[in-house]
């Protein structure tokens, strides 16, 4: 981690994928993403832009099989990068919530950077694919991100008809909520827990 910048690079290589993620938590929302899955690239870009994260993602995976390994491993690597960038988690806000409308769809995302991974993801019925992207991979991505980032996340979309709109609202909302949660609180220099540890 670059001292004071909360900026890290993490790489993960398996027999199925090779992923590199660079994230700066205190960025401007600059994204450079290439996973081989164009819709997923679009979603990660929205996450970065609306969360004010500077994000670079490079992923090569066994897309000839399907997108599962690539999407999951990007989630794992991004979660590891986030956790590493947060360090001891002192001074951060810890909680973040965003309500994001996208035309007829509304997403609510609430996060706790508790170091206790948990995901609740409640989405309306989705089309099987957006472009070539399998929509059932969205919860898999967020599950991996939460598990390796130490995040409790509740993602709720009470209504929405268009799959693209629903997922766009979710990724934008996750970015906005995470931006709030990682933000440094000037009144706090300690770990944000009455227990003194996360």
**pLDDT, tens digit (0-9, with 9 covering 90-100), for 36-95:** 999 999 999 999 999 999 999 999 999 999 999 999 999 999 999 999 999 999 999 999
Q: What is the CA radius of gyration of the chain?
A: 16
Q: Of 103-117, 120-134, 183-197, which gets the smallest average pLDDT?
A: 183-197
The mean pLDDT of 147-158, rounded to a whole number, is 98
pTM: 0.96
Distance CA 41, CA 88 (A): 30
| Model confidence band, residue 196 (pLDDT cutoffs 50, 70, 90) | confident
CA 101 to each of CA 47, 85, 98: distance values in angstroms, whole numbers, following the listed order: 15, 29, 10
In tens, the pLDDT along 115-141 reads 999 999 999 999 999 999 999 999 999
- What percent of the chain clears pLDDT 90, i.e. is strictly above it? 95
Domains and CATH numbers, the chain: 7-182 (3.30.230.40)
């Amino acid at each position: 981690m670059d001292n004071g910048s909360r900026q890290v690079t993490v790489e993960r290589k398996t027999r199925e994928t090779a992923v590199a993620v660079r994230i700066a938590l205190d960025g401007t929302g600059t994204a450079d993403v290439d996973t081989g899955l164009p819709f997923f690239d679009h979603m990660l870009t929205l996450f970065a832009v609306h969360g004010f994260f500077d994000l670079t993602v490079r992923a090569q995976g066994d897309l000839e099989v399907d997108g599962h390994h690539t999407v999951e491993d990007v989630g794992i690597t991004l979660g590891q990068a986030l956790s590493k960038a947060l360090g001891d988690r002192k001074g951060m806000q810890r909680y973040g919530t965003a309500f994001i409308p996208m035309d007829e769809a509304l997403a609510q995302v609430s996060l706790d950077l508790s170091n206790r991974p948990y995901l609740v993801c409640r989405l309306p019925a989705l089309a099987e694919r957006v472009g070539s992207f399998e929509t059932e991979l969205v919860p898999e991505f967020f599950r991996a991100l939460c598990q390796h980032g130490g995040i409790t996340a509740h993602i709720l979309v009470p209504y929405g008809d268009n799959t693209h709109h629903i997922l766009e609202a979710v990724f934008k909302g996750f970015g906005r909520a995470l931006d709030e949660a990682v933000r440094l609180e000037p009144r706090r220099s300690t770990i944000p827990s009455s227990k003194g540890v996360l």
